[in-house]
Each structure stands twice: as C-alpha cells, then as structure tokens.
Structure 1
Amino acid sequence: MKAYIVGVGTTKFEKPGTREWQYWDMAREAGAAALDDAGVAYEQVEQVPVGYCFQASTAGQRAAYELGLTGVPVYNVSNNCATGATALMLARQFVEGGAGDCVLALGFEKMTRGALGGDAGQGDFAASPVARHYGVMAARHGFAETPPTAQIFGNAAREHMERYGTTAAQLAAVAAKNHRHSADNPDAQFQDLYSVDEILAAKPVHPPLTRLQCSPTSDGAAAALVVSERFVVRHGLHGKAVEIAAQAMTTDTEESFASGSCVDAVGKPMSRAAALAVYQKSGLGIEDVDVVELHDCFSVNELLTYEALGMCPDGESGKLVESGATTYGGRWVVNPSGGLISKGHPLGATGLAQAAELVRQLRGEAGPRQVDGARTGLAHNIGLGGAAVVTLLRRS
C-alpha cells in the first residue's frame, strides 16, 4: 500500500526563550497547520507518532492532547537528531502496513540556549550512548574542552582536509549558501547573509568550524499527515498528495568504527547505506532528484553527505559546493530552507521540517525559494548513536 503526505505544518524556528510558550503550544501550532493544510479533522487520525528528545516520558501525549482528546494511540519517539524522520517513518509504516489510513507524525523541541552538551568526558563516560563514537575521536585526536558534537564533526572536517585537500573556504561556502537560502524563509531562525570571509572570521568553535558553520539550538515544531491511497481517493486529496516513494533507516555497522576515522564515526557509512536502499526501492537515483534537504548540523556534514548520497565521488564535495552545483541554477538545490545551520535545529522537529519543505517545493508552494520544476525531493536526517533516515518524495 502506498503512503502519501497530504498536509504539512511548521512553526517558526526560534532561539530558545524567544517566545513564552510550552512545547505543547508549538506542537499544537504545527499539528493544526498540517491538518488544516490537508483539510482533515483530528478525529480522522488513527495513530500519532511524536518525536522529541528533551522532554519527559509521555510528552507526546501532552502535546497531542492539544489537538483533541480522541483516545488515539500516541507513540513517543526518540532517536537523537534523526527523531523527526523516525516519527515520519513510523507513520509511513503504519499506513503501508494497514494499521491506519490517516496518521499524524509530530515532532517538537523546547531547548536551552548554548551548545548541546554530551556525556563524553563528563561523568560516567561508559554510560554515554555515544561513548563508542567519541572513543574513536579520542583515540585519534584526544578530547578537548569544546562541545563534544562540535569536536567530533570538526575533527571529521580536519581528516577530510588532510585526506583530500578540502579547504576551510569550501567548508565556509556551505554555510554561506545555506544562510543565503534562509533569507527567503520567514520560518527560519536566521535570515542574515554572510560572505565566506565573514564565516571564516566568526568565533571559532572547534577548528576548522566557526560559529556560523554550526547549527544552533532552537525551539520549534513540525508535522506531516500521512495517509493511504484510498484515503486520498475517498477525500479528494490528489491535489495535495506527495508520494513517499521510498524510505530507509540504517544504524551503525562495524564500518562506523573500524577505520578509526571521525568521518565514519559521524555517520557517512550509515547515510550511504540508507541512500542506496532508497535508490534500490524506488528505482530512482540521485540524478533523478531535483531538490535535497540534508542534515547540515555542521558544514562538514553537508560535504560528507554529498558523497554519501552519490552526488560526487569521495573527496570531491568541496569542489562541488564551490562550483555552484548545489544552489539555484546548479544541478541540485540543497537546503533551500536554509538547512539546520540557518533554519535552526529543534531536534525532534528537524526531520519533519525537512519533509515539509520538500512537500511545499514539490507542490510549487515554496514562494521566493521555489525550485523551478521540482518533482522529486530527497530528505536526509541523521543522529549520532546512530541512525540515518533517507526519504524520497515524488509528485506525480
């Protein structure tokens, strides 16, 4: 059974504490927007997977109750930064497996200001779910005082530079592109433009990464209504429907750790495996994709993901972004929303916000950031620890 997204909703992503709202307020806003987009009542929803990372158990119920008290099953989902896409994947599986014709995937996060913390190097190292990943880093690079996620991605960038000659300017070009894209996204956390030189001159976080190459902490929510083909037909939703043509999740294998490289430990092998599974399931390849929303938690991860998705050979991603191939007028438009770096990164909402952007692009509803003629979109959402979710959306 095929699954379709017929409604999407997002809040504005904001610096934590910008608004006096609770997580259930933002979830209500995004969920209601998705239902309104589809013209579907909450009473028709049969399952609700809800993603978040920083709230307490059953926060999903507290959030969903804002939309209605119907007794619908609510599933609390947490998969680090891949949480939003994991909620979407569960919604698709419910529909394709016949467990419901109408499923609402919801994701939100209410965060605190400042860099994300980590267990590594703080307290009981062995108890951290990412201790093995940070152990790879520590064995090769040591462990510094900078935020651990910035360390492991910054060290991945250093390894890529040493191995392939990737330059600091190429890393900064990723951030300059995504900040430029977000200027046309009113829901993005930032709309400021920065040159490559300004990005390189920004406050260092962990060399070679500067502050403007790192995704911020954010408050926000996103939602997608996933339905079956018969629900589309029954309710006349063909004009809204975007098909989930293929989707795959992968987790770490020995390849993530065997090389002792941070490039592998941060998830490039997972991303490649998930992308290959999606291409095999759909019969499509990256050459058939028009627009991409990928997980640029740090600028280097966009370059690593170009290679993992097959957009270029290993080591050529710096040249790819420098060439203009991943922006308007190029071969693909990558992160037209501004990506995590500039749109923001409320962990539980990120993957669903990627899907929302692609649905709007494929419907031709993206306004000034519209990608001309977009019919196929690819989303990539990854979390350390680890999980990579790749989703291919198609508009017939």
Structure 2
Amino acid sequence: MASRVYLLGGYQTDFVDNWARSGLEIADGMRSTLLRGLAETNLAPADIEVAHIGNFGAELFCNQGHLGGLFAASDPAFAGIPASRHEAACASGSLALLAASADIEAGRYGLAAVLGVEQMRNVPGEQAAKLIGGPAMWNGHEYQEARYPWVQVFSDVADEYDRRYGLKQEHLSRIAQINFENARRNPNAQTRRWTFKQNSFRADDVDNPIVEGRTRKQDCGQITDGAAIVFLASAERAHEYARRLGIDLDVLPHIKGWGHRTAPITYAAKIKASEGQPYVFPHVRGAITDAFRRAGIAGVEQIDGIETHDCFTMTEYMAIDHFGITPPGQSWRAIETGDIEMRGRTPINPSGGLIGGGHPVGATGVRMALDCFKQVTGTAGEYQVDGAKTFATLNIGGSATTTVSLIVGR
C-alpha cells in the first residue's frame, strides 16, 4: 500500500431479516446500518468526509438507483457529502472499498464510510434468480437456456475441474457442511437456526436435490437482504481516533495489501484462456498473489484465515487451490485433512460465508472486510479464530469476471 488505510470498525445487519416483510425499503436498511455503524465505532456524522456504496441490483429489485442520494438523506449532517455507488456484480462491495482506499491514499479525504447493501427477498425466489441471472454475465450471449444461469455456470466450473483433475461431490458437500456449522456460531448468519436432514449433505434427490447441472441445493449461497458498513481512515485520522478513544494505534488493523483483476465477461473465454495452465482461473490466482505481494507476505502460510466467496461450494473449492493451500487441482486434500475448518491450518469462512452466513450481493465484500476486522481485533465472538493477526478476503463478481482480494492485519 502507498500509505496505510486503517479500518476503524463497522456494523452488519442480521442477515435473517426480510426487510419487505417488516415494511422496510432499501433506504431504511441503508440508514439504520449507517447510524448503527457510527454508534458502534463512536463516530459522528460530521466525522465522515466521503461515502462509497457497493450495490448490484437496486434498480432490478427495488426500482431504485442513485444510492448516494439515499446515503446523503440518512442524516442532515450528510447533506452535500461526496458519495458514489460502485457495481461489479457480487464484487460491488469490494470495489467500493478499493475506491475509498484510493481516496484516502490520494489525500483527498481522511475518513470514509463504505456501505454495501442489497435487498433481494422482496420478490419470489424464482424471480430473484432471474433478476441476477443475466445482468452479471453477457446477457443474451451465454447461458440463455439455463433456468438458473449462475447455478449452471458453477456447475460448469465443477465439470472443468472434473475434466482436468477429477472431482468428488462428497468434497463439495463437506464444504457446505463446514460453512453451515460455522454459521451456527455467528449471531448475524442467515442460516444459524436451520436444521438439516440425514441426507442433506449427500447426493440425495429428496433431501439435497439437484438445482441445475450437477449443483445441489446445499451447494448454493443464499438470497439475502442485508447491509454492512466499515469506516476507513488515513494514518492521521486513525491516530486522532485512537487518541480520542484512549487506545493504541497499533490496535487498529489496516489494509496491508490488495489485488484487483478483471477478465473477459464470458465464462467460455476464461476457460479457453486457461487451457493448459495449472489454475482454472489464472487471473484469480493473480489477484491473490498481487495482494500477497503488496502486503509483503510470501504466501498463504502467513495468513491466519480467509473469508472467501462461496456463492457455490465449487467457488470455495476453487479458492482453496488458488490461494495456494494445496497445489492446483488438489483442494480435496485440505478438505479431507480439516485444514479449512475452524481449528484447521487455514480456516475458511469462520463467519459461515455466503452459504451459511448469507449473500446480500452488494454487501458481501464489505461484510468480508468487517469480519476480517473482527478476527484480527479478537472481537469475532463465538466464531473467533484463535490468535488471528492477518486475514484475507476473496470476493468475485460474475463467473470470476471481477476479482478482488484484500489482506487485513495489524
């Protein structure tokens, strides 16, 4: 990083909530998250100099754009605040984080609010799947025959792994099981109270039916209403903040490294480009190693855990080898040895991830950063990874079209 960008903390909504059933709109979710975030971090509206909002589908689900204006309407003190909205499908929140970090590094502003938000449960599930099906891929050019396009995309990723290296469903099912188990410890997780049947994590067409292709019900992330906010600060503002709270500056984590890469939008183009290479998505591997390099760390052995994008179990399976936990194509080894479990060598998704925790699309990247903050400050509660000092994220949009990885540590 050119200069340190500190995380001061933030707030996440309860991903169980269905906003429409409670008579709430996306503006209500934004406002309550912002005000709760300020209270949680002992900040005042006047402290915030700039706002960045991550959101994918407000126009589609809520017939609402111009979310910067909703931010400014949250409190009279925000009238006139510079605010922007960022979209990159499921990586929208991470792009908002990168933009806010760049603002701070450039010296334009000293303290930024980054709010990710999505309302998706105000329409039936079938309609929600259609709304997110086309816009994040090349609409009209790929997966036009699929009932659930994104389910089919990552079924195809599974097929590609199977073709190159071999793949067993039992390993994907174990990823789902771990994430649901982790979610039980997270008081904000969407599935924390869910119960499962005997065959829910097996290839059982009743308890775990196929949704599309080879992807089964428990392989899928959740449709979620939710928001998350984090506050980023320059070294000067972080020092002032720490002095005011009577804490040591070293207690506050900072973004140690970042990677951001964008590939051609179609899935087929990505797979064609990676033919004959060890990684199915070389640009995803590149985003991760870019983050490692900027953080000054040699590899995955120097991080204490990962919050990764598991929109489907196959996405996490891909992340395991792309992070270097195993050699390419051998992610199954880390699953069988328990390396990715809470007490494992490299815990993945102690929050429950997208499968267990929930996936309000535009909020996910921000929620990941907030969970990294919690982990490295020892405030993650029942899903705390013991002794965590450095955590990584991997947030992807589309068929790994937009990829962002962050390293957060103290």
TM-score, scaled to structure 2: 0.86
Give the distance between the partners of 1:267 and 1:54, measured in 2 at CA. 28
Give the distance between the partners of 2:130 and 2:280, measured in 1 at CA. 19
Cα distance change on mapping 1:326 and 1:64 into 2, 3 Å: farther
Matches within 5 A, 1:339-350: 339-350=353-364
| Aligned counterpart, 2:71 | 63
1:66 partner amino acid: S
How many angstroms does 1:178 deviate by?
0.2
Give the distance between the partners of 1:91 and 1:163, measured in 2 at CA. 39
Choose which of 106, 115, 131 in structure 2 pairs with 1:97: 106
SS in 1 for 2:200: helix
How many angstroms does 1:259 deviate by?
3.9
Choose which of 306, 314, 318 in structure 1 pairs with 2:332: 318
Query: Deviation string for 1:339-373 (max 9, x for gaps)?
Result: 00111111110000111111111111111111000
Give the distance between the partners of 1:15 and 1:168, measured in 2 at CA. 31
What is the total number of aligned residue pairs between the two structures?
Answer: 382
Query: Deviation string for 1:120-179 (max 9, x for gaps)?
Result: 7x8xxxxx66228964xx6xxxx6443000001011112212322220000101100000
Matches within 5 A, 1:1-396: 1-14=3-16, 16=18, 17-55=20-58, 56-67=64-75, 68-111=77-120, 112-114=123-125, 115-117=128-130, 130-131=137-138, 135=142, 144-191=145-192, 192=194, 194=196, 197-200=199-202, 201=204, 202-236=208-242, 238=249, 241-252=252-263, 257=269, 259-260=271-272, 268-284=281-297, 285-384=299-398, 386-395=401-410
Determine if contact 1:176/1:193 at 8 Å carries over to the other structure.
no
How many angstroms does 1:54 deviate by?
1.7
Give the distance between the partners of 1:267 and 1:356, measured in 2 at CA. 29
Give the distance between the partners of 1:30 and 1:261, measured in 2 at CA. 41
| Aligned counterpart, 2:61 | none
Query: Deviation string for 1:258-317 (max 9, x for gaps)?
Result: 6438999x9833321111111111111211010110000000000101111111111111
How many angstroms does 1:394 deviate by?
0.6
SS in 1 for 2:355: helix
| Aligned counterpart, 1:125 | none
How many angstroms does 1:329 deviate by?
2.0
Cα distance change on mapping 1:215 and 1:18 into 2, 3 Å: farther
Determine if contact 1:156/1:261 at 8 Å carries over to the other structure.
no
Give the distance between the partners of 1:371 and 1:338, measured in 2 at CA. 13
How many angstroms does 1:194 deviate by?
4.5
Structure 2 residue ranges without an equivalent (≥5): 59-63
Determine if contact 1:47/1:73 at 8 Å carries over to the other structure.
yes
Determine if contact 2:221/2:359 at 8 Å carries over to the other structure.
yes
Cα distance change on mapping 1:129 and 1:350 into 2, 3 Å: closer
SS in 1 for 2:53: strand
Cα distance change on mapping 1:254 and 1:393 into 2, 3 Å: same
Determine if contact 1:306/1:317 at 8 Å carries over to the other structure.
yes
How many angstroms does 1:377 deviate by?
0.3
Cα distance change on mapping 1:267 and 1:133 into 2, 3 Å: farther
Give the distance between the partners of 2:74 and 2:265, measured in 1 at CA. 43
Give the distance between the partners of 2:317 and 2:45, measured in 1 at CA. 40
1:146 partner amino acid: R
How many angstroms does 1:199 deviate by?
2.2
Cα distance change on mapping 1:32 and 1:268 into 2, 3 Å: farther
SS in 1 for 2:201: helix
Determine if contact 2:45/2:78 at 8 Å carries over to the other structure.
no
Determine if contact 1:52/1:349 at 8 Å carries over to the other structure.
yes
Determine if contact 1:252/1:267 at 8 Å carries over to the other structure.
no
- Please provide the CA RMSD for this pair: 2.6
SS in 1 for 2:272: coil
Structure 1 residue ranges without an equivalent (≥5): 123-127
Cα distance change on mapping 1:132 and 1:245 into 2, 3 Å: same
Give the distance between the partners of 2:36 and 2:324, measured in 1 at CA. 34
Give the distance between the partners of 2:83 and 2:265, measured in 1 at CA. 34
Give the distance between the partners of 1:133 and 1:38, measured in 2 at CA. 45
SS in 2 for 1:116: helix
Determine if contact 1:185/1:369 at 8 Å carries over to the other structure.
yes
